[in-house]
Structure 1
Amino acid sequence: MNPIFSPPLYKQRQQFVIDFVKENKPRKVIDLGCGECSLLKKLRFHREIEHLVGVDINGAKIKKEMHELAPVSTDYLQPGYEQLCVEVYQGSVTRRDARLRGFDLVTSIELIEHLTLADVEHFSAVVFGYMTPVTAIVSTPNSEFNPLLPGLSGFRHSDHKFEWSRAEFRSWALKVCSGYGYEVEFTGVGEAPQDQQHSVGFCSQIGVFQRLEGRDRCRASLSDDEEDVFSYTLLYCINYPSLRDNNILRRAVVSEVLYWAEQIKNRWMEEKTGKKNDAFTLCQTEGRMEELHLEPHMEMEEKHTEELTSPVQHCWRALPDNEGPEGDEVLWTNSSNRCVSVPLAVLWSFCPKVGELSGSLGNLRHLLMDEPAVKLSQDGSSVLVKYQEQDQEEEAEDLEDSNYAECSHSAEQEEDWEV
């Protein structure tokens, strides 16, 4: 049946929903009869959705595929500000569950034809009378199209209890609208040959139901005396990483601060000593080449269009007037600590990602407080970065200790072998 359509009919149905989501940007979406979660797997990448739910009566089918709804590695490496919670339930669409109320969009793709006509009435009452979504998309086979499907006799699937004509589907949809306060628009996917489009319609007919204004207030008043029902079984739940999670935000800020503090320290050392630090030049990817005095032959990636002058050249501008610099010595802290002090004001002002993540200088300081990976000055105004020469000396000492331990271990082995 599907080979006569390109793309296949099931993909056209899913694309219809995806196009609706792109245009209308619903935040809370439910897919009834989610089956193998194929539509959910596509919708999770549309990050305007904050809450994505699937429901199916076949728990075994859900369990085979539900773990593919988990975040991918890039979601953890580069979390965004968007939130997304994905849940999958086992349950019947003819039964109520209070957790599925108040959603923006409910989809029922090729589902109702698997229900008995009595259960279709329960379905209508649950979806439109109890869940009352802002929008519902319902698709079902169009029986008038069946004669055009090669090799088909009877229903399109052995589990179908009925297949409606366009008039029958329209009759049911209008009854739903009058009973529950909706309006409907009819469309479909899977076009017939051009000379038969008017006579047979779409292969899959679709009704897009929109809740009428004021219906939400009516539902709220009617539901005050109702007791919440939880009839579904939660099989899977995952929260995607988001910068709205304070722990994730803190890790992102710390990572950016450590990176940029090291780059600023390296450039300051380069300007102070006159020695070129190739490691810094290779790592530096933001800002304008001429303003940061980078080699002209280096290929730079321009991530920001705004003017960005060298943060080293402007360190003193971020400090109070009474802490004015004597030359560029403002970066030094206690010489016995062998550290370079990089003011937080500089990091916040001249490193775009740091400023974007933290929001304010005060919030940046708060996020870095009590963070083991970041060493702050006593007054909390600067990040302290170890001076390079001290690091090299410590590495040399560690290397000597490591070599000594290795030699001692080898000697012990030789003695054992001789014995």
Structure 2
Amino acid sequence: MEPLFSPALHSQRHQFVIDFVMKSKPRKVADLGCGECSLLRKLRFHREIQVLVGVDINGAKIQKKKHKLAPISTEYLQPSFDQLRIEMYQGSVTRRDARLKGFDLVTCIELIEHLTLANVEHFSAVVFGYMTPVTVIVSTPNSEFNPLLPGLSGFRHSDHKFEWTRAEFRSWALKVCLEYGYEVEFTGVGENMQSQQDRVGFCSQIGVFHRIGGRDHYNTLPGDDAEDIFSYTLLYTINYPSLHDNNTLRKVLVGEVIYWAEQIKNRWMEEKTGERSCAFSLCEAVRGLQELHMEPHEELKATACADEMEGPVNQCKGGVYDEKEDKWDEMPWPKSPEQQDSCAVNRCVFVPLSALWSCCPKVSELSGSVNNLQHLLMDEPDVKLSQDGCAVLVKVQEQDREAEVYGDLDDSGYTEASQCSHSVEQEENWETNY
């Protein structure tokens, strides 16, 4: 049998919420009656959200699906500056919990019809009177549409306590607005493609409630001055990797610095001749990065090829560092193979931090300034800095020296490293079948 709705009705409800999130960009979002967390799994990719909370009375469902809310591997390998914390609670939407107060958006998708009418009143007081979110999205079945659903007799789900007409839903919503200081817009999803649309309305009716006064206005209920209540049980929480976390920032920065220091060293060694000094020029760095399809920082391009500019050696005492003797050698690179072997052992090529910061957009973005870059790298065991802290020391490996001796880098087998650089949202029975 052909599906009645395309996309499926539950997908249309979720897309309605996602479209609202993309437009309004709420920072704190809670989904009440989150069920199997399917809406939360979609919302977690919208990184304007900083706090994402799910609440359901069925803790077993949360425990079963919570692992699907964990960060994926690429979010650990390439964390962004965005922050996201996910929290999952077991609890009833008819009871208060202070951790759910003051959210930007609360969603209640196909929830209220699972409550008794008496509990709907408690739900209204908790959500609109106590939690006081800026916006609440409530969806519920429209009973006027039911005669158009093939094979349906009675309610759409065996757990439904009621299903409202459009007039009944409107009456409840306007009462909520009057009591708790909200205004509401009515819409829905699941259109009837026949001529009866105006007569029966949407399959799922939706009310979008906006708090009068927005973020700056909070409602209070009698007794709200009492001690905060924590009635929900926290089942799962996770902080997504973010560059706002200093440890994460350092790990990513160190990886970028090591990678690009090697790239700059390798580019210099490819171009270096027997007569060339150990110090490579910034102009060479620019050319090398452009050949690597990396766009140098504008500051570097503006100064790299200035007259008489000899490059990083002018910015930082250096040349080739003799690790064994703990000293710098400013003499040109030896010309003969014998001299190469004698002086290259335990030696490092220095790559100034100023060149790294200027040449590599990711390094400059992460560090902010050369001084801050130096500070962040100072105590990192994986990065060796020069004595004055202004350059990264990159060891000259055996294969590098052999390539310099024989001038045959292309045949040396070297391969360039790759860049590191209350259970509610249940599918209704008739929806599953159609």
The verdict on a shared fold, with TM-score over 0.5 as the criterion, is: yes
CA gap 1:119/1:293 in 2 versus in 1, 3 angstroms: closer
For 2:210 and 2:93, how far apart are their aligned partners in 1? 19
Residues 3-152 of structure 1 aligned to structure 2 (within 5 Å): 3-152=3-152
The alpha carbon displacement at 1:273 in A equals 2.2
Residues 31-76 of structure 1 deviation map (CA, whole Å, 9 limit, x = unaligned) = 0000000000110111111100000000111111111100000000
C-alpha contact (below 8 Å) 2:91/2:233 kept by paired residues: yes
The CA deviation string for residues 2-39 of structure 1, in whole angstroms up to 9 with x for no partner, is 93111110000001001111111111100000000000
Partner of 2:320 in structure 1?
Answer: 332
Post-superposition shift, 1:223? Answer: 7.7
Partner in structure 2 of residue 201 of structure 1: 201
Aligned to 1:382: 391
Q: Pick one of 360, 366, 376 that aligns with 2:375.
A: 366
Give the Cα–Cα distance (whole angstroms) in 1 for the partners of residues 67 and 125 of structure 2: 31
Give the TM-score normalised by the residue count of structure 2.
0.79
Distance 1:216 1:291 in 2: 51
User: Equivalents in 1 of 2:34, 2:295: separation in Å?
Assistant: 40
* Bigger share in helix: 1
Question: Which SS does the other structure have where 1:273 is aligned?
Answer: coil
Query: 1:261·1:347 contact (CA, 8 Å) conserved in 2?
Result: yes
1:165 aligns with 2:165: yes
Whole-Å Cα distance in 1 between the matches of residues 100 and 309 of structure 2?
56
The yes-or-no answer on 1:264 pairing with 2:264 is yes
The change in CA–CA distance for 1:35 and 1:214 in structure 2 (over 3 A counts) is closer
Q: Distance in 1 between matches of 2:368 and 2:40?
A: 33
Does residue 292 of structure 1 match 2:282?
no
Contact 1:291 1:310 in 2 (8 A): no
Which residue number corresponds to residue 414 of structure 2? none
For residues 307 and 126 of structure 1, do their structure 2 counterparts lie closer, same or farther at Cα, with a shift above 3 Å needed? same
Change (3 A) 1:304 1:161: farther
What is aligned with 2:424? none
Query: 2: CA distance between counterparts of 1:304 and 1:42?
Result: 37
Cα distance, 1:312 vs structure 2? 8.4
Percentage identity across aligned positions?
71
Relative to structure 1, the CA distance from residue 128 to residue 152 in structure 2 (aligned partners, 3 Å threshold; closer, same or farther) is: same
1:346 aligns with 2:338: no
**Native 8 Å contact 2:285 2:359 kept in 1:** no
Q: Distance in 2 between matches of 1:390 and 1:210?
A: 67
SS at match of 2:195: helix
| Alignment TM-score, normalising by the size of structure 1 | 0.81
Cα distance 1:212–1:99, how it changes in 2: closer, same or farther (>3 A)? same
Write the letter of the residue equivalent to 1:324. Answer: N
What SS does structure 2 have at the residue aligned with 1:34?
coil
Is 1:311–1:346's contact at 8 Å kept on the other side of the alignment? no
Equivalent in the alignment of 1:254 = 254
Q: In structure 2, do the counterparts of structure 1 residues 121 and 67 end up closer, same or farther at CA, with 3 Å as the change threshold?
A: same
1:345 alignment partner, SS class: helix
Q: Distance in 2 between matches of 1:305 and 1:338?
A: 29
Q: Pick closer, same or farther for the CA change 1:324–1:103 going to 2, 3 Å.
A: same
- Cα separation, 2, equivalents of 1:302 and 1:138: 49
Write the deviation string for residues 261-315 of structure 1: whole angstroms up to 9, x where unpaired. Answer: 111222222333269xxxxxxxxxxxx99962699xx8x6566896965998789
The residue matched to 1:341 in structure 2 has which SS?
Answer: strand
| Rounded Cα–Cα distance in structure 1 between residues aligned with 2:94 and 2:311 | 64
Give the secondary-structure state (helix, strand or coil) at the position aligned to 1:231: coil
By how many angstroms is 1:258 displaced?
Answer: 0.8
One-letter amino acid matched to 1:332 = V
Structure 1 residues 311 and 36: alpha-carbon distance in aligned structure 2, compared to 1, 3 A threshold:
farther
- Relative distance call for 1:235 and 1:318 in structure 2 (3 A) is farther
Partner of 1:182: 182
RMSD over aligned Cα atoms: 3.2
Which residue is equivalent to 1:404? Answer: none
Quickly say closer, same or farther: Cα 1:364–1:316, change in 2 above 3 A.
farther
User: Contact 2:48–2:82 (CA<8 Å) still a contact in 1?
Assistant: yes
C-alpha spacing 1:372/1:312, structure 2 compared with 1 (3 Å): farther
Q: What secondary structure sits across from 2:365 in the alignment? A: helix
Q: How many residues align?
A: 374
2:388 aligned partner, one-letter code: D
Identify which of 347, 366, 385 aligns with 1:357.
366
- Looking at structure 2, the residues matched to 274 and 310 of structure 1 have their Cα atoms a distance apart, in angstroms, of 29
Residues 218 and 20 of structure 1: is their aligned pair in 2 closer, same or farther, counting only changes over 3 Å? closer
Instruction: Mark the runs of 5 or more structure 1 residues left unpaired by the alignment.
Output: 276-287, 394-419
Residues 27-36 or 221-230, more deviating = 221-230
Decide whether the 8 Å contact of 1:2 with 1:9 is kept in 2.
Answer: no
2:103/2:131 contact within 8 Å kept: yes
Distance 1:245 1:254 in 2: 14
Which structure 2 segments of 5+ residues have no match? Answer: 276-282, 322-327, 330-342, 403-434
Partner of 1:407: none
**For 2:3, what is the secondary structure of its paired residue?**
helix
Alpha-carbon distance between aligned partners in 2 of 1:2 and 1:180, rounded to the nearest angstrom: 44
Deviation at 1:359, TM superposition (A): 0.8
Bigger relative CO (Cα 8 Å, ≥ 6 apart): 2
Does the aligned pair in 1 maintain the 2:90–2:235 contact within 8 Å?
A: yes
Q: Is the 8 A contact 2:97 2:231 kept in 1?
A: yes
